[in-house]
Structure formats: structure tokens, C-alpha cells
A and B are shown apart, each in its own frame.
Chain A
């Protein structure tokens, strides 16, 4: 069946669809790793910010501010082209050479340097936002709650784990999910440093076939599937106290 004229000439060839799916798989994998790293880092940063020590608070504040107030694109370029260039030449060449890493019986391929740079930049950037959201959640729990729990004889640790955290999680669940969906979309910027994710593959298909509409339409569709899938999965996770009514 010939497609209508407004779709352009010809439809995507099978091997281009293959590229797009490979790109989508890389996007999903990168986003997953970034979400996990960002959550871990974000919790640590949020905890650091709630510390009594001024120097720790100041350090965390600086880190958060650096990542929240500068464009992600610039951070990506800084890590990939900038920081990498500062390393000694031997270290750079070793990092970029293909190795195999054996970990507990599993042989893993050494990731390409652009993947590592993307992972670092995206994780730090997302962690800053995750940290602020977790902080907002913790702050949203009324101080009276802590006072009451302490008066009942709970230790500060118990107060945090059993009183503050469950309530905070309920508050931050939705904004945090939004943050994770944002991570999936932000991975498209890593195209600038040569990570062959979904935007990159759509750009390649476009430049080789000149099927502009088709290439970007398929990319849009695949992004939509990824984000909707993540949304659905995220919607199933309920913190202990359940949805607020």
C-alpha cells in the first residue's frame, strides 16, 4: 500500500526501524540508571542539607545551586569535552579503550566514555532536583508531629523513619515521578555529546533518508511509549500511608 503523499516518499526501511529501537533501548537504559543514581544521591544530598554542621550545609547548597541554576546542555558539554580534556593523556586513552570488566562472574563491556559522561552529568543534575523535592517533603511535615513523637519517647531516628518519612513520601510521590519522567526526556540532550540514544538515531535516519516527518514521528511515538510506560509503572508504587485524600 502506498502511503499518502503528505507522508513523503516511502516509509521507514526495516534497518532504520532497528536503529530507532536500539536508540530507544539505550534511552531507557540510560534513564533507568540515572533515576537510580539520582535518587540515591538526592537522598544523600537532602540528608546533608538537614545536617547541623554549617560547612556540610554550605557544600550541599553550592552543589545544588550549581546544578539547578545552569543548563543541562552546558553541563553535558563541560563533562564530556571539558573535564575529560583535563585528565592526563594516559588516563584518557585508557578510559576510552575498550576493556572487559569481570564482576562476580559476569563479564561486562566497558561503557563508552560519552555514556559515562552522560550518566554523571544527568545524575548530578537530576539529583539536585530530587534532593530539593525530598527536602520539601520533609519540611512539609509539621514540627508538632516530631515534638509529639519525641514526647512519646521515640528516638530521633525512629521519629524520622516512622513519622516524618512516610508522610513526606506521600507528599513528594507525584512531583518525584514527574522528575523521573523528565529524566527520560532529558536524555535526548545527550545527543550533543554523541550518545546514540533515540534522538540521535532519529537524526541519523533523517539525514540518511531525508524522511524528516517519519523519522521524528517515530521518535516521538517511542518517547511517548517510554514515558507512558514509566508513568504507569510509577503509578503502581504506593508509599506505606497510601494516597492522600
Chain B
């Protein structure tokens, strides 16, 4: 009898926790835990001076936490750990340059996109102006990326040379082994910002694909998604979104990249 009662209590306890809403949990805990990159400037990186994780994603996350009325706690992550952190409940949100894909949508929910990017190219100044010029060129890409595949499928006349990561591909470009390298536009801007000889290179003025970055949320938390979307739309309306963007990508920054996407645009 006693055992049955315990079991019933246990069952009741588990079922209530399953019904609990993540937004209520966050408010009760007083902390919003956000998985952010710690080595992917300018989205999320360890700031040398403040020794805090900062960046564009972090600024957006700070506004979300502020709107909910709780403290922000950043969970450092990398591309491979983002989804596991969220699914296992160690983080409430992902704000880590998180690209919207149908595969990921099976495991997590997405907010409205707050950043868009696409496949772009770095080449020596004046060598690459239109996609048609890609034919016959040797172009460096990162192994196993969508950029590598897109290039090979849509531009069969281009010779794709794959490297382990973008800095190595850039080294090959600087050595003249390839004529251009391809990656996500924002990543290229950040890479070029730190190059000692950046004056010799430029980001070619065209984009091959369009990708959208959004906040990743746990599956089935409709109220949390609603709050996050409201915050994002609010940021665009009061001009804060543009301010955040210009702080990291504006004309005066190390990695200028024109803003061609607004929160709420059709994704």
C-alpha cells in the first residue's frame, strides 16, 4: 500500500514537471542559460579585456534575458555541442550563429531569423566580380561544408580544392595556390579583418546562397518562442537591432559587411 502511494506520488511529480513550461522555469530560476560561441568573432568570443563572452549573438541574448526579466548566463559552446546542450536541458536557448536547416528543425525549434548570410568569396582585389568568372578558377573551400558542395554542383568548371579549415584555405590563397576561397560571408569578413595584408584582398560583391541564423529553442515551448520573437521584432522596431549590427559589422568596424537583412523580413 505504502509502495503504491509512493509510486503514485512519483508519477504525479514526473507528470507535473513534464507539463511545466520552460518560460516559467526560467522565471523561477531567475536565470536564462544561453549557449553561445566562445571563439567565433564577432558572433561570440572571449573578449580579451573583459574576459567575458561577448559578440553579436550575446547582445541579442542579453536583450531577451532583459525582456524576460532574468539574469543572463552564457554557456560556452562550439558547433558540435550546440544541439546536445539544448536537448539535454543544460541550456535554454542557442544563440551561436545557428543556421536554420530542415534537419535541425527536427530536433529544435527556431525563432525568427535575426541574421542572414550567404556563400561569398575572398580573392585578390579586382580578380573576381561576377559568379561567371568562377569557371576555370582554383577555389579553396572548407572540407565537408555546404559551400564546397554548392560550388561543385553548380559550378562544375571550377576546380575546388578543400582544406581542413578557413584559416588554412586563406593561407593557400595568400600563397597563390588558389585564386579565391569561399565560406560564409560573415566568417570571411571576420577572417579578413585579422589578416596583416588585408589591403590586397576583397570580398567579391556577390552571394551564391542565402542562409538564415536564428535562436534555437527546445521543441514544443510555444510561449518561449513567442517571447523571443517579440523581443527580436521589438529590437528591429526601436532601431536596437541595427545598432547591434553596426557595432559588429558597421562601416567603421574591422570587418565591414553591408546589412541586407532585417528581422521580420521574409525568410
- A contact set with B: CB distance below 8 Å: 80-81, 84-85, 89, 92-93, 95-96, 112-114, 192-194, 196, 200, 203-204, 206-208
Contact = CB atoms under 8 A, between A and B. Distances in A.
Contacts of B164: 192
B149 A96 contact: no
B171 A85 contact: yes
B101 to A, nearest CB: 13
B207 interface: no
Interface of B: 138, 140, 143-145, 148-149, 152, 161-164, 168, 171-172, 174-177
Contact of A113 (B144, B145, B177): B177
A203 B144 contact: yes
A81 B140 CA distance: 13
A85 B143 CA distance: 22
Contact of A114 (B143, B144, B171, B177): B177
Contact of B176 (A92, A194, A206): A92
B140 A194 contact: yes
A234 to B, nearest CB: 32
Nearest to B200: A89
A197 to B, nearest CB: 12
A84 B177 contact: yes
Nearest to B179: A96
A21 to B, nearest CB: 17
B176 A93 contact: yes
B175 A114 contact: no
21 contacts: A80-B172, A81-B168, A81-B172, A84-B175, A84-B176, A85-B171, A85-B175, A92-B175, A92-B176, A96-B176, A113-B177, A114-B177, A193-B163, A194-B161, A194-B162, A194-B172, A196-B161, A203-B143, A206-B144, A207-B149, A208-B152
B172 A200 contact: no
B102 to A, nearest CB: 14
A80 B164 CA distance: 13
For the complex of A and B, 5 pairs with smallest distance between CB atoms: A194-B161, A207-B144, A92-B176, A84-B175, A96-B176
Nearest to B148: A207
A207 B145 CA distance: 8
B93 to A, nearest CB: 28
B33 to A, nearest CB: 32
Contacts of A206: 144
Contacts of A92: 175-176
A194 B144 contact: no
A194 to B, nearest CB: 4
A81 B172 CA distance: 6
B23 to A, nearest CB: 36
Contacts of B176: 84, 89, 92-93, 95-96, 113
Contacts of B149: 207-208
A96 B177 contact: yes
Given A84-B177, A92-B176, A114-B177, A194 B148 contact: no
